[in-house]
A and B are shown apart, each in its own frame.
Chain A
Amino acid sequence: MTKQEYTITVYTENQIGLLNRIAIIFSRRKINIESLNTSPSEVDSVHRFTIVINETEDVVRKLCRQIEKQVEVLKAYYNTNDEIVWQELAMYKVPTEVIASAVKVERLLREHGAHTVVIRKDYTVFAVAGQREETDKLIKVLEPYRLIEFVRSARIAIIKASDGFHEKLKEFEYREPGEDAIENEFLNENEKVFSM
């Protein structure tokens, strides 16, 4: 099995220490987290982690099981890049004088979909939301114009096939959770699994 980029989406309770519990699942196995984002989710009181790693599917599946095993984790999903819509936010700080003198720069920025966040006498900050290649490309473009500072956020992702977490959460709240809360992927791959 070959390694590829997987985005892991984890629905959790909002609890101090859970970030550490999740992070050490990766570090214990010496797996590098490429990006990690925590945010609220569509459901009030439910938190959402978005974690990007480069691994084989076998490893990612096992990691998700270990994540789900944590008491405060509701559910963990993993997806390949074509199963999700994803974005990262990047910010670039460049000297304002360069922008002012080189009209070309402004055009370049517009071409890359950047918008201005702050304009000061000494510097201007632009932001771009997009995928890794796009934000990377803009670094290259801006480098000749004295890029003072660059930062990029973690990935956030929407799962294309997901119906959101509202309905699922209801199942979790029952004392006897429904079948959906305990998905068993084997069942859906019946033919592959039961090779008698």
Chain B
Amino acid sequence: METLTIKKEKPATKPTTQVSGSVAVLEAFLAEGVDTVFGYPGGAIMPIYDALYDYNDKLKHILVRHEQGAIHAAQGFARVSGRTGVVFATSGPGATNLVTGLADAMIDSTPVVCITGQVFAHLLGTDAFQETDVINITTPVTKWNYQVTDATEIPAVLAKAFYIAGSGRPGPVLIDITKNAQLQLFDYSGYQKCEHIRSYRPKPIVRKEYIQEAAKLINAAERPFVIFGQGVILGKAEKEFQKFIEKAGIPSAWTIMGMSAIPTDHPLGVGMLGMHGNYGPNVLTNECDVLIAVGMRFDDRVTGRLDKYAKQAKIIHLDIDPAEIDKNVKATVPVWGDCKETLPLLTELVDQKVYPQWLQLFKEYQQKEEDKVIKEELNPTTEIMTMGEVINTLNELTKGDAVIVTDVGQHQMVACRYAKYNKSKSNITSGGLGTMGYALPAAIGAAYGDPSRTTVAIIGDGGFQMTLQELGTIMQFKPKVKIIILNNQFLGMVRQWQQLFHEKRYSFVDITSPDFVQVAKGFGIPGKSISKREELKSSLQQMLEQDGSFLLEVMVGKENNVFPMVPQGRGVAECVLSREEI
């Protein structure tokens, strides 16, 4: 390939064997350490599936029930394992069904490589059966994509695909392979990993000048505040990050994607940022004097109204992606680079400090939140259960060791607010795209990503119905997924907004659900539905102790709202604790 400019040290005498394009794909997987593939066969990818038949002992293939399930599973796998998730899908509808997952992986920087089958090269552009212009459809939602029409390209293209997906700021890559290329035999001389592409710079060079400037600002600060995102996890820099905040003594808050990078009970951890984050971190963003953003991208759900966001503060932004610097919030000191490299440099230069008064202020805000929101949520006086108490009871039982996979909506916010984590890569959720239906397939992938851990999927009654076909995958392959459906009989988050901002005009948020326990039973998955508090702990216990998957439906308050909230269009300091304050 022209674009590969690595000087390949290819010995001219290297022995070659004749293999098909399909075999070259599978050999590439093995060379990249892939052991699990999520996929669904079809006409245009049949040669690859035919080759897969002989790789049964080396590659585990999980047959999902819908291609969206395959890519979400690959995402869950990648997020838990820190490795690249891999997907097979056929052409046309198989490929278009991946689009939601690609968009999700793109915005949440999840490394995924998707291989799609394509019609024969001579049929491209003829509206052949199951032909879709997959490359152009997926261009905006992939970090890179490429169509292979000649098998000889496969080893180099796949090497590039894995390199691009997993390096720098990770993301999804799609390789579309025409059927003739899958069938074509060619002289194969082995697989060589890609380590350099001249036009692609995964990591900007770290410039010491910036680190020095950043350290100067931090050392002079009186009320510094660290906010961090998934970059810490993706950069595998959890230790470096913890060392940094501990030496500098700076209160630190996580975004939803950064959650679990440090244990939730870390003494400097002050909670979650964002629309439904904690009160203190939101309000005090506008009172700090130096704001240190690490591996996060100032999403609008985090910043609220931009022109009222941290205007008083000097901003230090550490990010691996230069396009994120100054995109939403102007940085005083931009620190480009991989935070695994930049954080230790910064730690070296910052003074050992503590900010007892400043930290105390966070605690005071936390107390206000406890009094007005948390107490009632975790120990409700109502007869009907709240989502928060379910999460809280789960914490007691898992001790924060479980991988929690959430869907999107009220239950997601509640889970992320109250779940406890001891270990990184434990919070798997669709943060940027907000994909309902993400949790069930992602939990399947997560269970394969680290089978030694307990995987708990927390899903709403709405989101569960979007991808419940994946119960079939659980039935067949038996990943141990514990499913909790928090059923409030509404599309709760939309209902909350309709109540708060649309005069309670409940427009199509009243959703009817099937008997989830019966549905699960149909798939051979034991389950239980509870509505009484007395049953909660024992039922969760039963779910966790079950050898295999289990579905627990918990009926919760129909019209409970998630607070605190930074209403849309308001600044973070205008975070409210109750409906009355809006």
Is A17 in contact with B135, judged by CB distance below 8 angstroms? yes
Is B139 in contact with A14, judged by CB distance below 8 angstroms? no
> Hey, which chain B residues are within 8 Å of A21, CB to CB?
139
Is A45 in contact with B333, judged by CB distance below 8 angstroms? no
Which A159-196 residues sit within 8 Å CB-CB of chain B?
169, 172-173, 175-177, 179, 181-182, 184, 186-187, 190, 193-196
Complex Cα gap A179–B332 (Å): 21
Complex Cα gap A14–B333 (Å): 35
Which A82-126 residues sit within 8 Å CB-CB of chain B?
none
Stretch in contact with the other chain, from B193-201, B241-249, B256-264, B473-481: B193-201
Complex Cα gap A17–B204 (Å): 25
Is B140 in contact with A28, judged by CB distance below 8 angstroms? yes
Interface size on B, residues (CB 8 A): 40
Stretch in contact with the other chain, from B46-54, B205-213, B439-447, B559-567: B205-213
> Hey, which chain B residues are within 8 Å of A173, CB to CB?
5, 198
Is A62 in contact with B326, judged by CB distance below 8 angstroms? yes
> Hey, which chain B residues are within 8 Å of A13, CB to CB?
2-3, 199
Is A175 in contact with B199, judged by CB distance below 8 angstroms? no
What's the nearest-Cβ distance from chain B to residue A161, in Å?
Answer: 22
Is A71 in contact with B200, judged by CB distance below 8 angstroms? yes
Partner of B164, one of A12, A71, A190: A71
Partner of A196, one of B164, B198, B216: B216
> Hey, which chain A residues are within 8 Å of B220, CB to CB?
196
Partner of A66, one of B146, B200, B323, B336: B323
Complex Cα gap A40–B172 (Å): 30
A136 within 8 A of B: no
> Hey, which chain B residues are within 8 Å of A45, CB to CB?
2
What's the nearest-Cβ distance from chain B to residue A126, in Å?
Answer: 37
Is B323 in contact with A62, judged by CB distance below 8 angstroms? yes
> Hey, which chain A residues are within 8 Å of B332, CB to CB?
193-195
Is B196 in contact with A175, judged by CB distance below 8 angstroms? yes
> Hey, which chain A residues are within 8 Å of B333, CB to CB?
193-194
Is B217 in contact with A71, judged by CB distance below 8 angstroms? no
Is B199 in contact with A74, judged by CB distance below 8 angstroms? yes
A24 within 8 A of B: yes
Is A181 in contact with B201, judged by CB distance below 8 angstroms? yes
Partner of B139, one of A17, A65, A176, A181: A17
> Which residue of the partner chain B has the closest CB to A11?
B199
Is B199 in contact with A20, judged by CB distance below 8 angstroms? no
A55 within 8 A of B: no
> Hey, which chain B residues are within 8 Å of A187, CB to CB?
207, 209-210
Also in contact, A65 and B217, with CB within 8 A (given A12-B199, A181-B201, A187-B207): no
> Hey, which chain B residues are within 8 Å of A72, CB to CB?
3, 199-200
A2 within 8 A of B: no
A-B CB contact pairs (8 Å), 30 listed: A12-B199, A13-B199, A14-B2, A15-B2, A17-B147, A20-B139, A24-B140, A28-B140, A62-B323, A65-B325, A65-B327, A69-B322, A69-B323, A71-B144, A71-B164, A71-B200, A73-B199, A169-B198, A175-B196, A177-B205, A181-B201, A182-B205, A182-B336, A184-B207, A186-B210, A186-B334, A193-B334, A194-B332, A194-B333, A196-B220
